[in-house]
Amino acid sequence: MRTGIVVFPGTWSDRDCAHALGDVLEEPCRFVDHRDRQLDDLDLVILPGGFSYGDYLRCGAIARFAPVMESVARFADRGGLVLGICNGFQVLQEARMLPGALLRNVSCEFRCEWVSLRVEQSASAFTAECRPGQVLRIPISHGEGNFYADPVTLERLESNGRVVFRYCAADGRVTDEANPNGSMANIAGIMNARGNVLGMMPHPERACEALLGSSDGLAIFRSAIRALQGVPA
Amino acid sequence: MIYRAAVFVTLKPVVNDPQGLTIHRGLRSLGFDSVQEVRSGKYLVLTLEEPDDRSARARVDEMAREVLANAVIEDYRVEVEAIGEPAASGELRA
């Protein structure tokens, strides 16, 4: 699986993604400059976390106009896998490649901590290595991760199985206490209708080695590798 | 003509506003008991040169719609006023 990791000015998790894919999983990957348009050699494009262009106006508002984003949209239209993590999720929403928006955390605080995620959809290209209902330990690191969608959109996401991850307690129960940012229905990650674009606030690339607290994030990258090899889930 | 445009970007009424809620709690804790609600937003002032009122308004509206506000969660309102003729150098003449 050849992965491209998009780097906007202000992106901060690109090196972590490269470490997870290149060093830990030993998969080929390269950085993609925000001005580049050529993604033809890639199977997976990651929009990593950070503060693209400083996010002064609104998270992801400027990044969606970057030259690379036109190519990312075409890449997704052709069925390529796109994973937006944290700021990358915000960028995908601003680009209207995923629905809804991410508001300021209800606490108005930046939250940087380990959370538990329940896998709600294990039949996706990004979660086929997970059991339904499996609880993953993955860290979050954001000030604007409070998922919002209008009622019609939310209902469509829920009924079509497009809610991929929910914040939960360690035992898998979805509770208000386990919701770190006020997200509607504890939503931590969603995918598009086709299932090839996933946006999630938690950082799987920072949970790829037991030494660093958890290797649960590997399941997401390994699922993508398996999906690209065409191995049935 | 030089125009000054005010763009008010606010969260839609149905969208939760954590900053507004926090400011509301702060005001009440300071004794401003009469405050029933606080909604926060952005206030942007743009100075631009356009041939006429209509094009100034259309241009600012386009910027607000495409960039300054996110229609999924925000509304915007635009006020435009002419503030002077451009000088030959492009500097604003008082």
Q: Which of A1, A28, A9, A14 is nearest to A67 (CA)?
A: A9
Q: How far apart are the first and last CA of chain A?
A: 17
CA B89 → CA B1, B62, B68, B92, distances in Å? 13, 27, 29, 9
- Which are the contacts of A114, defined by CB distance < 8 A and separation ≥ 6? A137, A138, A139, A213, A214
Tell me which of A17, A29, A59, A86 is the catalytic residue: A86
Q: Which amino acid is at A112?
A: C
Respond yes or no: is residue A209 known to be catalytic.
no
Condensed to tens digits (0 to 9), the pLDDT of residues A199-215 reads 999 999 999 999 999 99
What ipTM was reported for this prediction?
A: 0.87
Are the Cβ atoms of B70 and A104 closer than 8 angstroms? no
Residues of chain B with C-beta less than 8 angstroms from the C-beta of A57:
67-68
Q: Which of A11, A4, A179, A186 is nearest to A87 (CA)?
A: A11
B45 inside 8 A of chain A by CB: no
Condensed to tens digits (0 to 9), the pLDDT of residues A153-171 reads 999 999 999 999 999 999 9
Question: Is the overall model pTM greater than 0.90, yes or no?
Answer: yes
B70 inside 8 A of chain A by CB: yes
